[in-house]
Amino acid sequence: MHLLFRRSSKAAVTVTRSLALPPKPPSSFSFVFFLSSQPHNQNHEIGSIGSPSRIQNLIASQSDPLLAKEIFDLAARQPHFRHSYSSFFTLILKLGRSKYFSLVDDLLIRLKTQNYSVSAALFSHLIKIYGEANLPQKALRTFYTMVEFDCRPSVKHLNRILQILVSHRNFLRPAFDVFKDAHRHGVMPNTQSYNILMRAFCLNGDLSIAYQLFNKIFERDLVPDVQSYRILMQGLCRKGQVNTAVDFLEDMLNKGFVPDSLSYTSLLNSLCRKKKLREAYKLLCRMKVKGCNPDIVHYNTVILGFCREGRPVDACKVLEDMASNGCLPNLVSYRTLVSGLCDHGMLDEAKSYMETMISKGFSPHFSVVHALVKGFCNVGRVEEAFAVLEEVLKHGEVPHTDTWLTIVPGICEEIELERLKEILKEDREQFLPHACHLSVRTELLQFLLEGSDAPNTRAAGEYLNLYFLLELETEATLDILRCAFIEDDISKPDIYSHDSADANMELPDGNNSMAQSQNSMVQSRYSHSCYY
C-alpha cells in the first residue's frame, strides 16, 4: 500500500493546486496527495475533501482497483466522513472483477458492521463474478450471505447460483440441496430452475432423477416448456432409449407444444445411430407439417445416416427433396453423399454430384477428390481418375498430396512419358505447392526406376532428363537413383545425348569401378541446371 501511495503521490504534486479550483474536479492523484498531507484536525470541514458523491465519482473513474481502494481508505480516515453505499458498491465490483476477493470480504464486513442497507443487486453481481472465476464455493457462500444482510433472494439469484453449481460436477448435490431449501428463504423455483437441474442430472447419467423433477413441475402448478421436453428427450437419446424419446415428442405435440430445431436434431441423430432410418425419414417429412421447417442440419443428419448404412441411393433422394422444401444442399451435403457413393462403387454418380457441386460454386473438399480418384484407380479407370484431377485443377483447387500419391502409379502405367512430362511441367507451374513436391516427385522416381528392366533403361534415362524439372534436390532421391543403377547393374544409361558436357565423359573400365562411376554420374546430373 505504501508503494502504491508513493507511485500516486509523485504524479500528484504537479496538480495539487487544482484542488483550490472548485469548478474543476481534481485528479485522483492530486486528491490522494492532498488527503494524505492533511493534519487530523477535528475542526477540519468535511467540505474541504468533497462530498461522498464526489468520492464515489473518483473511485468509479479509476482503472486501477487498488488506487480506488486507497482513495476509499484515505477518505474514510477523515473525521465525520461516511461513505455512501454507492462507493461501497462501486469499489466492491472493481475489486471483485480484478479478483481481489479478500478485499471484497473486508468491505462486506464493513457494510455489515456499519449498518448499511445492502441491495440484492450487489449479491447478484458477486455471484456472477465468483462463477466466472470458477469459485462455486464462494458463490454459494455469497448466496447464503444475503440472508445475513436481511436481503431476500429472488428466483433470479436462485437460478444463477444453480447454474454455477451444476457446471461443476462435485457441486451437483449442493445445488440440489439449495433447490430443495429454496422455500425456506422465501424463494419459489420456477420452470427454469427445474430445467437447470434436469439438464445437470441428465448429463450426469441420473435420468430417473431428471424424470422425477419433470413430474414435479406439474405438482407445483408449473407448466413445462419446450426446453423441459427437449432436455428429457436428449437425456433419453443419450441412454439409447430413442423410442421413449419419440413418445415424449408425441406427448409434447398433443399438448400443443411446437418442438424446436434442437429437439428434432437430437431425435434424428439418435434414430440414425440406432439404424432406424425409415423412422428418421418419416420424422423428417413430418417436421414441416408440425410447424418446424427442417434445416440443413436435419437433412445432413439423415443423409449421413443413409450413407453409413450403405444406402447412398436413399441419401440421393433426401438430397433431391431438399430444394422442394426450401433448403439448399451445402458443402457437407455433397461431401457426405459423394463419399458414400464412392464407398459403394457408384463412381459415375459420385462424379456427377461432384460436378454439380462445383457448378454451384462449392470448392470440392480434398476428401471428395481423394475418394473419387482412389475409387477410379482401384478399378483400373485411371483416365477417369485423371479427368477428376483435371477438373479440380481447372477450378484452381490444389489436390492433397495423398491424392497425387494414389494416382501416380496408375498414370505411370497408363500414359506415355511425354504426357507425364507435360503433366509435371504444368504441375510445377501451378498444380502443387512446393511443400508437396518432394514426396510426390520422389514417389514418381521410385516407381519408374523400380519398374524398369535392366536391359531397357529408357525409362530411367528419360526420368533423369526430368530431374531438374522435378526439382528433386534431396539426399533421399539421390539414394534412390544410386540404388537403382547399382542394383540393376546398368552399364551405360542412355542419357548423354542431351548434354554435350556429359557426352564427352568416359566411364572407367572394369566392374569394380562401376558403382563409383555411376555415383559420379548421378552427382554430375544433380549439379547441372537443365537436362531436356
Q: What percent of the chain has pLDDT over 70?
A: 64
Beta-carbon contacts of residue 403 (< 8 Å; ≥ 6 apart): 366, 369, 370, 373, 374, 389
Q: Which of 46, 42, 47, 69 is nearest to 58 (CA)?
A: 69
What's the pLDDT score for residue 407? 57
* pLDDT band per the 50, 70, 90 thresholds, residue 120: very high
Q: How many CA atoms lie within 13 A of 13 on its CB side?
A: 5
Tens-place pLDDT, residues 277-328: 999 999 999 998 888 889 999 999 999 999 999 999 999 999 999 988 889 9
* pLDDT band per the 50, 70, 90 thresholds, residue 378: confident
**Residue 86 scores a pLDDT above 90:** yes
Report yes or no: 204 and 172 within 8 Å, Cβ to Cβ: yes
H or E element at residue 448: helix 434-450
Q: What is the pTM of this model?
A: 0.68
d(CA 315, CA 168): 41
d(CA 141, CA 315): 55
- The separation between the first and the last C-alpha atoms of the chain, rounded to the nearest angstrom, is 80
Report residue 440 as a C-alpha cell.
Answer: 510426390
Q: How many CA atoms lie within 13 A of 149 on its CB side?
A: 25
d(CA 451, CA 414): 13
Which region holds residue 505: left if phi is over 0, alpha if psi is between -120 and 50, else beta? beta
Report residue 367 as a C-alpha cell.
Answer: 476428401
Return the CA Rg of the chain.
39
Q: Is 494 exposed, middle or buried (0-12, 13-18, 19+ CB in 10 A)?
A: middle
Mean pLDDT of 256-262: 92
Choose between 482 and 233: higher pLDDT: 233
Q: Which of 500, 526, 405, 424 is nearest to 469 (CA)?
A: 424
Domain range annotation of the chain: 440-532
Mean pLDDT of 486-495: 45
Cα dist from 381 to 56, 408, 414, whole Å: 81, 13, 10
106: phi then psi, degrees, rounded to nearest 5: -65, -40
**Residue 195 scores a pLDDT above 60:** yes
Report yes or no: 397 and 369 within 8 Å, Cβ to Cβ: yes
Mean pLDDT of 84-104: 97
Report residue 187 as a C-alpha cell.
Answer: 424463494
Residue bearing cell 430445431: 261
Cβ neighbour number for residue 500 with a 10 Å cutoff: 8
* pLDDT band per the 50, 70, 90 thresholds, residue 475: low
What's the pLDDT score for residue 473? 47
Alpha helices (runs of H) in 167-241, residue ranges in sequence order: 172-180, 191-203, 207-219, 226-238
**Residue 261 scores a pLDDT above 70:** yes
Report yes or no: 281 and 244 within 8 Å, Cβ to Cβ: no
Mean pLDDT of 204-213: 94
Q: What percent of the chain has pLDDT over 90?
A: 49
**Residue 264 scores a pLDDT above 50:** yes
Q: Which of 405, 406, 403 is nearest to 366 (CA)?
A: 403
Highest mean pLDDT out of 224-228, 388-392, 416-420: 224-228
Mean pLDDT of 185-193: 94
Beta-carbon contacts of residue 388 (< 8 Å; ≥ 6 apart): 351, 354, 369, 372, 373, 376
Alpha helices (runs of H) in 451-513, residue ranges in sequence order: 458-465, 467-470, 475-488, 500-503
What's the pLDDT score for residue 412? 54
Report residue 364 as a C-alpha cell.
Answer: 470440392
**Residue 131 scores a pLDDT above 80:** yes
Choose between 387 and 340: higher pLDDT: 340
Residue 381 DSSP one-character state: -
* pLDDT band per the 50, 70, 90 thresholds, residue 389: confident
Mean pLDDT of 235-245: 94
